Structure 1
Amino acid sequence: MPKLKNDLMSISAFSKLSRVPRKTLIFYDQIGLFKPAFVAANGYRYYTRSQFDTIGVIYIFKELGMSLEDIREYLERRSPVSTLALLRKQEEVVQLQIAKLTLARQMITQRADNIEHSLNVDTSRRVVIHQERKPLLRSYRVHESRRELNEELWDDFQERLQKENAPAGYPAGAIIGKEDLLRRDGDMISYMFSFLTTQHHEQEYMPEGYYLVSYTRADYEDTERIYPQIFEYMEKHHYVVKGDAYEEFLQDEVVMKHPEDYLVRVMVHIEEPAKS
């Protein structure tokens, strides 16, 4: 920053322009973190415009979680090499925070969209839609009744979500395999899944195609009761199973007080329906 005439400014003026509270500036002076350029005989503190650069760095590092002591030590020993190393390290911190915030926003948007969609759902109707391919994170393969899922699967999937920097409570669903659907069995779980783009695991997808969509009110362990109705509907309309079924709760414990009132959406991947 260029040197200007009458460069000194009062603590009040510096506080206003830097948006750092006056009390904070006094505290920083007292602990030796950031001192004024000049202190008058009457004790008034004065700062220079060039000090905006330093207070800006202090603000950024503090926002990124550095302690005031670590910032003070850095400022006392700063050099091009140490500054470069610290900036690269903080760059990684920022990237991680961006990744976490991106997924937090995605979770919020996904939940909001699900709730908004659920407000107009008629659980007595079934529809066929064309679904674009959607990226997802998938658990390891299992073949277990939804009532007997082991804790190891749940814990492992939560660890996978954490590795992807997904926030706690990220929406998760269940996949019913094609082979079980062909046997008219809606109870056996093949995978847990969440809709997200992965960075640390193999990227899986919900395939593009046609899906028979059904809804029902049920607790987490009771969704299999909708499958007999789905199989009957598919037989009546001559729909053919092409792939897996994806279960996703649009209204869960975040929205509803009573588990029996949760709303689940089941999407069965089917062959393209014959045109009538």
Structure 2
Amino acid sequence: MDNFYVSPTEFASISGVSRQTLIFYEKKGIFLPAYKNEKGYRFYLMSQLDIIATIQSLQKIGLSLEEIKDYIEHRNAQSTYELFSNKINTLKEIITTYHKMINMMETKCQLITKANQILTDMVYIEYRDEIKIIKSDYIPFNSKEINQYKILGEHIKYRKKQNHSLGHAISGMVEWKKMLKSKRKKTFYQYYYTILDNQLEDENYDIIPSGNYLVIYHKGTYETSYQSYHLFLDYAKKNHLVLDDIAYDESLIDELTEANPQNYITQISVKFKKELE
């Protein structure tokens, strides 16, 4: 490349970097004119195009101006390797986060679609594949309500720490037969849980077993889902079914989707088998 001087306007036009940006870089000490004459006019060398292109590239991968200045002044093959290796890892983490965000939004769209296709207050039979979950600590049925919320808070913190908060909403397990016999006027969960993606790293998890389930779709607040549990008993009696003791409450329409809690839709599932004849 021929090495001759050009004005800031000419250099800006050739490099694609605005004159104001060149002045800003100069003030920050990142990229300086090659020459100033006695009148204070600035001039750049064409050989500086490589440096300005490098600065623009480093900004695109997320380096701060301070990091760029230090890199330009001290760069060598080893420091470049270390810089890019670290940035690759950072970008991979960002990509993973964006993939989780996309999955969360796709899941929400699927749940909304399902909620629009079902009828509430009737019983469905559905086959469910095994589902991997993370469970909270156990909440005894006779516990005070404040204990339920404390454990919910711990589960929320864990989801955030493990970056599960971009996935499925928090769900709940209920000892539903006890719930029907009790005097409680709100659904009381024995566990909170989070549905996991299939790909897991080193993390302990539980499962919701595969099998046939009775499923009810309850419309209303989370606290009122227990009001639909009696439908399980009615259906099981008519069809000679034996029902498990645990119900799984999972949100289709929740606070992220709907402003009015009365319009929430909760999928309630109970595993069953046929009575022995």
| TM value normalised by structure 1 | 0.77
Equivalent residue number for residue 78 of structure 1 = 75
2:247 aligned counterpart, secondary structure: strand
Q: Measured at CA, do residues 82 and 218 of structure 1 come closer, stay the same or move farther in structure 2, by a change above 3 Å?
A: same
Equivalent residue number for residue 193 of structure 1 = 193
Instruction: Write the distance in 2 (CA, Å) between the matches of 1:143 and 1:22.
Output: 69
Q: Measured at CA, do residues 231 and 6 of structure 1 come closer, stay the same or move farther in structure 2, by a change above 3 Å?
A: farther
Structural mapping, 1:229-268, within 5 Å? 229-242=231-244, 244-268=246-270
Instruction: Write the distance in 1 (CA, Å) between the matches of 2:19 and 2:108.
Output: 42
CA displacement 1:18-70 (0-9 Å, x = unmatched): xx66543442233122446x5697645444357534431232033xxxx3213
Structural mapping, 1:220-231, within 5 Å? 220-231=222-233
Structure 1 window deviating more from structure 2 (234-243 vs 219-228): it is: 234-243
Question: Does residue 111 of structure 1 match 2:108?
Answer: yes
Equivalent residue number for residue 162 of structure 2 = 164
Q: Conserved in 2, the CA contact under 8 Å of 1:164 and 1:200?
A: no
Instruction: Write the distance in 1 (CA, Å) between the matches of 2:141 and 2:79.
Output: 54
Instruction: Write the distance in 1 (CA, Å) between the matches of 2:178 and 2:28.
Output: 72
CA displacement 1:181-221 (0-9 Å, x = unmatched): 48966954221112223546313332222111101112121
Instruction: Write the distance in 1 (CA, Å) between the matches of 2:87 and 2:170.
Output: 32
Q: Conserved in 2, the CA contact under 8 Å of 1:240 and 1:270?
A: yes
Q: Measured at CA, do residues 145 and 50 of structure 1 come closer, stay the same or move farther in structure 2, by a change above 3 Å?
A: same
2:119 aligned counterpart, secondary structure: coil
Instruction: Write the distance in 2 (CA, Å) between the matches of 1:257 and 1:55.
Output: 44
Structural mapping, 1:177-188, within 5 Å? 177=175, 181=177, 187-188=187-188
Q: How many residues align?
A: 259
Equivalent residue number for residue 52 of structure 1 = 53
Which segments of 5 or more consecutive residues in structure 1 lack a partner in the other structure? none
Instruction: Write the distance in 2 (CA, Å) between the matches of 1:253 and 1:189.
Output: 18
Q: Measured at CA, do residues 109 and 60 of structure 1 come closer, stay the same or move farther in structure 2, by a change above 3 Å?
A: same
Equivalent residue number for residue 124 of structure 1 = 121
CA displacement 1:60-88 (0-9 Å, x = unmatched): 033xxxx3213322332233333333333
Structure 1 window deviating more from structure 2 (150-159 vs 160-169): it is: 160-169
| TM value normalised by structure 2 | 0.77
Q: Measured at CA, do residues 243 and 10 of structure 1 come closer, stay the same or move farther in structure 2, by a change above 3 Å?
A: farther
Which segments of 5 or more consecutive residues in structure 2 lack a partner in the other structure? none
Identity across the alignment (%): 22
Q: Measured at CA, do residues 185 and 106 of structure 1 come closer, stay the same or move farther in structure 2, by a change above 3 Å?
A: farther
Instruction: Write the distance in 2 (CA, Å) between the matches of 1:39 and 1:59.
Output: 28
Instruction: Write the distance in 1 (CA, Å) between the matches of 2:123 and 2:130.
Output: 21
CA displacement 1:215-235 (0-9 Å, x = unmatched): 111212121111112222122
Instruction: Write the distance in 2 (CA, Å) between the matches of 1:25 and 1:207.
Output: 63
Q: Measured at CA, do residues 230 and 22 of structure 1 come closer, stay the same or move farther in structure 2, by a change above 3 Å?
A: farther
- AA partner of residue 154 (structure 1): L
1:254 aligned counterpart, secondary structure: coil
Instruction: Write the distance in 2 (CA, Å) between the matches of 1:102 and 1:221.
Output: 32
- RMSD (CA atoms): 3.4
Question: Does residue 148 of structure 1 match 2:145?
Answer: yes
